Amino acid sequence: MKNFKKVAIGIFVAVIAFSFSAFTNAKKFATTNKFYNTTGIASSNPADYVYRGGGVDRCLSNPSDVCTAEWSTTNTPTTGQTPTQAGSPSFVGNPTSGDYNP
């Protein structure tokens, strides 16, 4: 009977530990968005980019400068955020040419 109680308590503890881990290992899905390059120079530094929502193209014609690039982040960015502020940035690429017009 003592062994049965020990086994039952061991299984109970394992089930409780497993059920709590189900909530702590939740995966966040990445989102990819277009960020504007504030320097005009080709860069993969997230500090050189800012998000502007609203669907308005803010690039002026200039084939020698970089206007936008895509970044993958863990959160959907809000206007004015850098990729770092939107969470765990990863440079995707897909740059477009032009000058950023805030």
> Could you state, in order of their start, the residue ranges of all structural domains in the chain?
31-100
Q: What is the pLDDT along the chain (102 residues), one digit of tens a residue?
A: 667 676 666 666 566 666 655 555 555 678 999 999 999 999 999 999 999 988 889 999 999 999 999 999 999 999 999 999 999 999 999 999 999 999
Phi then psi for 39, rounded to 5 degrees?
A: -100, -25
Helix (H) or strand (E) holding 23: helix 2-24
